[in-house]
């Protein structure tokens, strides 16, 4: 029987909750490489916004791991929409970098290329530090989400995709069911061995970057992300049927989605007045490509059209730098004379080139011709 632990906690006492999680789900990390992946969506004050996993939960997880004799610990994430290629900044602003200390890695600089078949045949770059780790500990933030309804343990794996690759899936997965498929595909790439969810200061409303916070004061843990999210749905007041990716996980038998078959230890009472987003079909603005603001199809079209834009004045290529060329997982960038050369059609939007440029000479800018051609294709879909 799957087990999910729901522990009443605060940030002051979360070390005890984390210890309980490790006791309930023992894992042997001795001599092994352990990857800790947070949810680091974007920069913000961690005391007033629920954008990211709180640094105190991260600290508790790392302190606990230090007592368990791991061979190596690495901690990081890939960042979201507004910060592609700028992970370091997000980690600094949210105190996650100083908390991770010597364990911090910019995961976006070490990628592994995979070929996905679903929901689209596509080459993607994922976080090698996580997918190839001996032990993967996922430390997500408890959130509701306008498209995926919940942003919990399974959704944290969407962050295995770096940079604007995420935008590519948002742009192309017009229907929530299609977007659910990519969540499940990324979950299957590397299911976490243990999930410890920060549900102390959670997010409510239309996440993933809703300004609404909710003090739930819980840490939720399990060795099965699907079971954990099933319990999360219950706490927030959803049925499994309301959550497209949980419906899919159920159909694919990827984990336990039957509450009666989950051993829930702790108080998982539904919070009746939690601000729950409406069904994605009704509420999510880019369902028909007619949304506005930060979730519109225009917004994502621009991001899908992002390409590296290298400043000839600042670039140190002629002086011997080729960091962006070396990191590019698809050889879209190659050595040139003044600046590196770009083969636009080979760019998969991973953002690694911007992450590694130490001279602030590489930015992302929308390719106008590509934007125009995408706009024409939209009319036909
Ligand atoms: S990493 Fe930056 S400075 Fe180095 S070659 Fe690339 S764009 Fe130029
Ligand atoms: S040019 Fe290469 S490194 Fe840069 S975003 Fe495209 S695929 Fe990634």
Distance 347 CA to ligand 2 centre (A): 5
Question: Is residue 364 in a domain?
Answer: yes
- Same domain assignment for residues 21 and 152: yes
Same domain, yes or no, for 84 and 120?
A: yes
160 CA → ligand 2 middle, Å: 16
Distance CA(166)–CA(300), nearest Å, equals 10
What is the position in ligand 1's atom list of the atom closest to the CA of 333?
6
Q: Indicate whether 300 belongs to any domain.
A: no
Q: How far is the CA of 315 from the centre of ligand 1 (A)?
A: 5
Res. 283 pLDDT band, cuts 50 70 90: low
Contact criterion met (CB below 8 Å) for 3 and 222: yes
CA-CA distance, 268 to 218, in Å (whole number)?
Answer: 9
Residue 331 CA to ligand 2 centre (angstroms): 8
**169 Cα to the center of ligand 1, angstroms:** 28
If one residue of 332, 344, 366 were mutated to test the ligand 2 pocket, choosing by the most ligand atoms within 8 A of its CB, it would be 332
Identify the residue whose C-alpha is closest to ligand 1 atom 8.
315
**How far does the centroid of ligand 2 lie from the alpha carbon of residue 272, in Å?**
45
Q: Do 312 and 194 fall into the same domain?
A: no
Q: Is the pLDDT of residue 226 over 60?
A: yes
Q: What is the DSSP letter of 255?
A: S
Residues 140 and 6 in one domain: yes
> What pLDDT is stored for residue 281 in this prediction?
64
Distances (CA, A) of 149 to 69, 113, 207, 244: 38, 29, 8, 8
Is residue 298, in this structure, part of any structural domain at all? no
Q: Which CATH number does the domain housing residue 168 bear?
A: 3.40.50.11440
Residues in the chain: 381
CA distance 244 to 247: 5
Ligand 1 in contact with 333 (CB < 6 A)? no
Per the domain annotation, does 299 fall within a domain?
A: no
Question: What would the DSSP string read from start to end of 289-318?
Answer: T---GGGSHHHHHHHHTEEEEE-TTT--GG
Atom of ligand 2 nearest to the CA of 306: 5
Residue 279 inside a domain? The answer is yes
DSSP secondary structure letter of residue 261: G
251 and 311 share one domain: no
Work out how many domains the chain is built from and give that number. Answer: 2
Domain match, 152 and 246 both: yes
Determine the distance separating the centroid of ligand 1 and the alpha carbon of 171, expressed in angstroms. Answer: 29
Contacts of 298 (CB under 8 A, 6+ apart): none
Assess whether 85 and 200 both reside in one domain.
yes
Report CA dihedral (81, 84, 89, 95) to the nearest 10 degrees.
50
How far away, in angstroms, is 324 Cα from ligand 1 center? 6
Ligand 1 in reach of 328 Cβ (< 6 A): no
Site to probe by mutation for ligand 1, drawn from 361, 363, 365 as the one with most ligand atoms within 8 Å of Cβ, is: 361
The percent of residues above 90 in pLDDT, for the chain, comes to 82
If you average pLDDT over every residue of the chain, what do you get?
93
Helix (H, G, I), strand (E, B) or coil at 133: coil
For the residues 294-319, what does the mean pLDDT come to? 89
241: in domain: yes
Counting ligands in written order, the one closest to the CA of 345 is 2
Q: Are 224 and 101 in the same domain? A: yes
314 CA closest ligand 1 atom index? 3
Q: Who's near 12: CB < 8 A, 6+ residues apart? A: none
- Domain span at residue 359? 306-380
**Is 301 within the bounds of a domain?**
no
In this prediction the pTM is 0.94
Identify the residue whose C-alpha is closest to ligand 2 atom 3.
Answer: 328
Tell me, yes or no, whether 367 and 221 share the same domain.
no
Q: How confident is the model at residue 307 (pLDDT cuts 50, 70, 90)?
A: very high
Tell which atom from ligand 1 comes closest to the C-alpha of 356: 1
In the structure encoding, which two tokens stand for residue 296, read together?
């519109």
| Contact indicator for 150, 232 with CB cutoff of 8 Å | yes
Closest ligand to C-alpha of residue 364 is 2
Q: Which residue has 């090698």 as its token pair?
A: 128
Q: Band the pLDDT of 220: cuts 50, 70, 90.
A: very high
Q: Which two tokens stand for residue 11?
A: 């940030």
Atom of ligand 1 nearest to the CA of 325: 6
Q: Of all protein residues, whose CA lies closest to atom 2 belonging to ligand 1?
A: 357
Give the residues surrounding ligand 2 with Cβ less than 6 Å away. 308, 327-328, 330, 332-333, 347-353
Task: State mean pLDDT over 99-110.
Answer: 97
**Gap from CA of 290 to ligand 1 centroid (Å):** 38
- Cα–Cα distance for residue pair 57/15, rounded to 1 Å: 7
- Count Cβ neighbours within 10 Å for each residue of 335-359 and write b for 16 or more, e otherwise: eeeebbebeeeebbbbbbbbbbbee
Q: How confident is the model at residue 135 (pLDDT cuts 50, 70, 90)?
A: very high
Q: Does the pLDDT value for residue 289 go beyond 60?
A: no
Q: At which of 215, 248, 283 does a domain end?
A: 283
Q: Are residues 105 and 174 in the same domain?
A: yes
Task: Give the Å distance between the CA of 306 and the centre of ligand 1.
Answer: 17
Residue 291 pLDDT greater than 90, yes or no: no
Assess whether 264 and 367 both reside in one domain: no
What average pLDDT does the segment 346-372 reach?
95
Residue 268's φ and ψ, nearest 5 degrees, are -110, 35
Residue 242's pLDDT is: 93
Going by alpha carbons, the residue nearest to atom 2 of ligand 2 is 328
Q: How far is the CA of 305 from the centre of ligand 1 (A)?
A: 20
Compute the average pLDDT of residues 82-108: 92
User: CA 279, CA 243: separation in Å to the nearest integer?
Assistant: 9
Per-residue pLDDT band for 146 (boundaries 50, 70, 90) equals confident
Helix (H) or strand (E) holding 102: none
Any atom of ligand 1 within 6 Å of the Cβ of 362: yes
Residue 300 tokens, joined = 């994502």
Report the pLDDT value the prediction gives residue 206, as an integer from 0 to 100.
83
Looking at the structure, tell me whether residues 70 and 22 fall in a common domain. yes
Number of Cα atoms under 13 Å in the Cβ half of residue 248: 20
Question: Is residue 154 included in any domain, yes or no?
Answer: yes
Give the CATH number for residue 350.
3.30.70.20
Separation of alpha carbons 260 and 79, rounded Å: 36
Residue ending a domain, among 230, 249, 283, is 283
């Amino acid at each position: 029987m799957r087990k999910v632990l729901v522990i009443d906690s605060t940030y002051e006492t979360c070390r005890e909750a984390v210890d309980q999680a490790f006791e309930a789900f023992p894992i042997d990390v001795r001599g092994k490489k352990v990857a800790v992946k947070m949810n680091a969506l974007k920069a913000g004050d961690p005391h007033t916004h629920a954008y990211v996993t709180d640094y105190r939960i991260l600290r508790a997880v790392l302190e606990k791991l230090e007592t368990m004799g791991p061979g190596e610990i690495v901690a990081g994430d890939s960042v979201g929409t507004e910060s592609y290629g700028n992970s370091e900044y997000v980690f600094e602003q949210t105190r996650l970098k100083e908390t991770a200390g010597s364990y911090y890695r910019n995961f976006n600089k070490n990628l592994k290329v995979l070929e996905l078949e679903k929901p689209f045949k596509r080459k993607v770059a994922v976080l090698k530090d996580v997918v190839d780790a001996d032990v993967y500990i996922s430390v997500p933030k408890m959130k509701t989400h306008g498209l995926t309804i919940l942003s919990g343990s399974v959704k944290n794996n969407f962050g295995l995709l770096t940079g604007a690759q995420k935008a590519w899936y948002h742009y192309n997965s017009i229907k929530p069911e299609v977007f659910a498929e990519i969540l499940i595909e990324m979950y299957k790439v590397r299911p976490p061995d243990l999930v410890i969810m920060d549900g102390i200061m959670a997010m409510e409303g239309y996440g993933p970057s809703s300004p609404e916070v909710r003090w739930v004061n819980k840490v939720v843990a399990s060795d099965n992300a699907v079971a954990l999210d099933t319990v999360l749905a219950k706490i927030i007041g959803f049925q499994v049927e309301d959550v497209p990716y949980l419906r899919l996980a159920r159909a694919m038998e990827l984990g336990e989605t039957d509450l009666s078959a989950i051993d829930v230890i702790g108080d998982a009472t539904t919070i009746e007045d939690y601000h729950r987003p409406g069904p994605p079909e009704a509420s999510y603005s880019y369902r028909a490509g007619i949304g506005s603001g930060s979730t519109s199809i225009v917004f994502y079209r621009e991001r899908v059209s992002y390409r590296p834009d290298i400043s000839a004045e600042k670039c140190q290529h002629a002086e011997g730098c080729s960091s962006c060329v070396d990191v590019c997982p698809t050889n879209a960038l190659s050595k040139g004379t003044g600046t590196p050369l770009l083969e636009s059609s080979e760019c998969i939007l991973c953002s690694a080139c911007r992450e590694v440029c130490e001279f602030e000479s590489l930015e992302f800018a929308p390719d106008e011709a590509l934007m125009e051609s995408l706009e024409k294709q939209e009319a036909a879909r």
